[in-house]
Structures are given as C-alpha cells and as structure tokens.
Chain A
Amino acid sequence: MTATAIPAPTHDDVRGVVDEVWETLLGDAAPLMTRLVPARAPFDSAGVWSASVSVSGGWQGIVTVELTEYVAGALAATMLALPEGLEVVDADIADAVGELVNMVGGNVKSLMPGPSVLSLPSVAAGRAAFSSDASEVARVDVTWAEQPVRVCVHVVPAGAAR
C-alpha cells in the first residue's frame, strides 16, 4: 500500500499570494524583500503579532502569519487610514492582522483542492500555538521596511482533530 501525498502549495505559490495581498494593502512604496533564514529557525523578533486561519474540507491546512509590532502597527494604521502620530491600539492591530491572514489564507485555499471552508482568524499578541500534527510545507520569509515578516502553510493529515 502506498501513502497518498497531501497536496501542498509551493513556496512560489505562497509568495505570489503574499506579494499580491501586501501590495494591495500597503502599496508598493516599500516592497517585500526576500529574507534568507535557516530552515526551522524561529521567528526572531521580541515583539510579535501572529495570526492563523485553518482550512478544512477537500484540503486541510493552517496558514499563519507572524509580524513585528512595528509592521503590525503600520498595517493597521494604513488599513484604517489613521492620522500620522495617532497611537494604534491593540484592538486595531488585531483586526488588521486578522484580515491579513484571512486574505492570505483564502487565496491559499483557492489553490488547493476543494470544496473546503476557511475558519475565522485567530490573532495573538505573541507567537501562535497550533497542533503538533500539522507539518510545515511552505514558508515565506521576507522583510518589509527592514522588519521581518513570516507566512507559513501547514498541512494537517486527514482525520486529525482541529
């Protein structure tokens, strides 16, 4: 009996989605730059916002984003068109980061076999935890305004509890 490979997006697939979402939300004034990071290296920033969405159905996976506090704040300020100098509160950051992962996750889902359902986003001030049965299949490490940004896609074996 042979094991059936779980379909997974490629790095280039995910990078394409991230570039498109990023440019739409933040413009192309400060482009995303590729960042070389050793495999399995943790996201190396003290102040972190993270978010995830899960996909269930024809394809089962989890999409996560990790951002520094600076990037998360800039994202929220831009999406909400806040006046310069106005403090960005955590609720606004959580909302913006949640919408970012929702967009990235929804577009990754569209590349995978369906039908499937996208969850509502979970957002954390800090690193997100997720099930240990999920395997990372694609990781995009980039910088924006010299700050690290990470997007990961994990697949979940069929039948695994979410």
Chain B
Amino acid sequence: MKALIIDDSRAMRSILRRIVTALDFETEEAGHGQEALDKLRDGELPDVCLVDWNMPVMDGYTFITEVRSNPDWRGMTLMMVTTESEQRQIVRALAAGAHEYVIKPFTPDAIAEKLEMLGLVGGAA
C-alpha cells in the first residue's frame, strides 16, 4: 500500500509518515495540493491521500475537487486530516469526494482505525 501525505507542515508530515509507515505503507509527501497533483500526474497513484485543509498554493478542498474531476483517479481513497472541524466544512469535504475525515489533534490509533474502516489496513484490504 502507498500513501501520499499532503500537509504544509513538515512536522505534521513527519508524524503522519511514522504512523502509516508502522502500518506498512510506503509514503510520499507533498507540501500543498498543487504539488500533490503534480506527483499524481507524474507517478504511480497512491492507494490513499491524507490531505490537510489549510495549505498555501492549493488547499485540501480544492485538491479533492480536482482529484474527483479526473476519472482516472477515481479509485484513490481520500482522507482529510485537518484542524477544520466545523460541521459545515466536514459535510462539504465529504460531498466533494473525501471518504473519511480526521480532526487534529489525533492519535495514531485514530488514523489506524479510519484506514482499517476504509479497508486499507488489517484483514479487510
């Protein structure tokens, strides 16, 4: 399994990398949505993208709408990992095509549980 971690904070990418690496994911990283789109166009598609909302250049919501507008990327799982916790925004992200939503701060178990629910870790994959 491969995860693309998209967050403008290197420290947050480091935390997420350690969590998903422990779950046997290979990882790639991007500092904003546009960099992530460029990686998707250039390389092998990840199984899951962990996407922050508030980022410079291109935010996570725009990234999700861009990904969902490309039929070739339909199989990719999108999980928002963000401090954005207003109900209205959560609904908006899910309606745009995010599969799951995790609010910062989170525990490693919270990320693992969500990935398990999505069938990306454990026996369900």
| A102→B105 contact, CB < 8 A | no
B62 proximal to A (CB < 8 A): no
* Contact residues in A for B106 (Cβ distance below 8 Å): 24
Q: Which residues does chain A contribute within 8 Å of B34, judged by CB atoms? A: none
B18 on interface, CB distance cutoff 8 Å: yes
A102 and B83 contact, CB distance less than 8 A: yes
Residue B56 lies at the interface, judged by CB distance under 8 Å to chain A: yes
Who on chain B is nearest to A21 by CB?
Answer: B105
- Bitwise interface map of A from 56 to 100 toward B, beta carbon under 8 Å scored 1, else 0: 000000000000000000001001110000000000100110110
The answer to whether A80 touches B85, judged by C-beta atoms less than 8 angstroms apart, is no
Q: Are B9 and A99 in contact (CB under 8 A)?
A: yes
Bound complex: CA A24 to CA B12 (Å) = 12
Minimum CB distance partner of A17 in chain B: B105
Query: Which of B12, B56, B85, B89 interacts with A99 by CB under 8 Å?
Result: B12
Given contacts A98-B9, A102-B54, A103-B104, contact A79 B83 (CB under 8 A): no
| Residue count of chain B within 8 Å CB distance of chain A | 22
* B9 x A102 contact (CB < 8 A): yes
A116 contact set on B, CB distance < 8 A? 86
- Out of A24, A81, A102, A110, which one reaches B85, CB within 8 Å? A110
Establish whether residues A115 and B83, one from each chain, have CB atoms under 8 Å apart when the complex forms. Answer: no
User: Which residues does chain B contribute within 8 Å of A110, judged by CB atoms?
Assistant: 85-86
Kindly state the separation between the CA atoms of A92 and B9 in the bound complex, as whole angstroms.
9
Chain A CB within 8 A of B84 CB? yes
In the complex, what residue of chain B is closest to A97 when comparing beta carbons?
Answer: B11
> Which residues in window 1-57 of B have CB below 8 A to A?
8-12, 14-15, 18, 54-56
B15 x A79 contact (CB < 8 A): yes
Closest chain A residue, CB of each to CB of B85: A110
Report how far A59 CA is from B5 CA in the complex, Å: 31
Say yes or no: A118 contacts B83, CB within 8 Å. yes
Docked CA distance A148–B12 (Å): 24
> Are B83 and A76 touching (Cβ within 8 A)?
no
Is the CB of B70 closer than 8 A to any CB of chain A?
no
Q: How far is the CB of B52 from chain A (nearest CB, A)?
A: 9
Q: Which residues of A contact B (CB under 8 A)?
A: 20-21, 24-25, 76, 79-81, 92, 95-96, 98-99, 102-103, 105-107, 109-110, 114-116, 118-120
A-B contact pairs, 8 of them (CB 8 A): A79-B12, A80-B14, A99-B12, A102-B54, A103-B83, A106-B83, A110-B85, A120-B56
* Closest 5 pairs between A and B when the two form their complex, measured CB to CB: A106-B83, A24-B105, A79-B11, A110-B85, A99-B9
